[in-house]
Amino acid sequence: MQDVLCVWFGSSGFDRSAEGLLGAGQRIAATTKGKLHSLVLGKGDNGSRAAAIADSVQIADQLSLDAYSPEEALAVITSVAKSLSPGAVLFANDAYSQELAPRLAYRLGGSAIGDAADVVAEGDILKVTRSVYGGKAVAVYHLERRPSVAWIRARAQAAATPRSTQAEIKHIATSADPNAATRLLERQTEAHEGVRLEDARWIISGGRGLGGPEPFEQLKELADTIGAQVAASRAACDAGWVPPSWQVGQTGKRVAPDLYLAVAISGASQHLIGIADAKVVAAINTDQHAPIFKHCQFGIVEDYKKVVSLLKEKLQALKG
């Protein structure tokens, strides 16, 4: 284990995910006395903030990468990784990274793992800690085949420490692979308002116990009072009450807000995995034995109808 390469998509700019990703890479590079390299795919991030942290910054800002082209992205990452020969390649925990990480490891002859809560280096081995059995246990994996390719819970990582000098920023050209095995036939974009759930500082989330789509309007009004984002459990999304993009959990989005308010969510292990990195969890539920109460710092055993409107009034008064 020597150098570390961190890869992310520039469309979100240098967000919390990029900060945490470089933070994890910086700590591994410091342990192994190697260099930290960064690769940004697509436009949106000019690399200036990464240049204050990494030893080298490369940007592939072709327009085709903005909309995510898996074959082209994989080709450029493979090319950069082969030229740098890093001991570890780190991605964030977005859908694109989850697709690219195992494919990159295969092309480089390395090993791959996902959903890493923690990554540390011991000699030439990358040790990865992650949840198993639906979040009921924790396992530590040793990746012995280099390079070690992992996508990590970047937003749960401490941010990197800036250096006193700026690294050179290099723009590189890419081109689509004419022999690519896949072709993009159609692209659908879902309209989105406000901050992404992955970047939200405050989240108010509803579950099956709300009973239908109408109560989510109440949660939206409460969220607007404090500038929070609205999310949901899988049951609420599967019922069609809210869009699938609102789903938080093992098969949805993993979030790391300062506050996560779970309203009428029982707290199945799959949902708890998605909020494991939240700093504070609060819950409102009529069932005092709901699992969510074992994993929250604040809880109210009551019908949400009696709490949400009162909470909104109190918050509005405080704002006033």
Contact 142, 127 (CB under 8 A): yes
Structure tokens at 118: 């923690």
Q: What is the DSSP string of 8-55?
A: EEGGG-S-HHHHHHHHHHHHHHHHHT--EEEEEESSS--SHHHHTTSS
From the list 200, 257, 201, 208, the residue with the least C-alpha distance to 232 is 208
Q: Which DSSP category does 288 fall into?
A: T
Q: Is the pLDDT of residue 153 over 80?
A: yes
Of the chain, the percentage scoring pLDDT greater than 70 comes to 96
> Residue 68's pLDDT is what?
74
> Residue 296's pLDDT is what?
95
> Residue 135's pLDDT is what?
72
From the list 306, 316, 299, the residue with the least C-alpha distance to 221 is 316
User: Across all residues in the chain, what is the average pLDDT?
Assistant: 90
Q: Is the pLDDT of residue 49 over 80?
A: yes
CA-angle at 201, arms to 295 and 134, nearest 5°: 35
At residue 179 the predicted structure's pLDDT band, cuts being 50, 70 and 90, is low
Q: Is the pLDDT of residue 45 over 90?
A: no
Using one digit for the tens of pLDDT, what is the confidence trace for 192-222?
677 888 889 999 999 999 999 999 999 999 9
Domain parsing of the chain, residue ranges: 4-171, 197-319
Q: Which of 178-187, 248-257, 268-277 has the lowest mean pLDDT?
A: 178-187
Q: Which residue has tokens 């809880």?
A: 299
Same fold, 4-171 and 197-319: yes
Using one digit for the tens of pLDDT, what is the confidence trace for 96-129?
899 999 999 999 999 999 999 999 999 889 999 9
> Residue 63's pLDDT is what?
67
Q: Which of 92-106, 140-154, 178-192, 201-215 has the lowest mean pLDDT?
A: 178-192
* CA 274 – CA 135 distance, rounded (Å): 10
Averaged over 22-47, what is the pLDDT?
Answer: 93
Q: Is the pLDDT of residue 43 over 90?
A: no
Using one digit for the tens of pLDDT, what is the confidence trace for 239-269?
999 999 999 998 888 898 999 999 999 999 8
Using one digit for the tens of pLDDT, what is the confidence trace for 229-239?
999 999 999 99
Considering the entire predicted model, what is its pTM?
A: 0.78
- What's at 290, amino acid-wise? A
> Residue 132's pLDDT is what?
84
Q: Is the pLDDT of residue 134 over 90?
A: no
Q: Which of 29-33, 57-61, 182-186 has the lowest mean pLDDT?
A: 182-186
The second-level CATH assignment, the architecture, of 197-319 is: 3-Layer(aba) Sandwich (3.40)
> Residue 198's pLDDT is what?
85
Averaged over 293-311, what is the pLDDT?
Answer: 94
Q: Does domain 4-171 bear CATH number 3.40.50.620?
A: yes
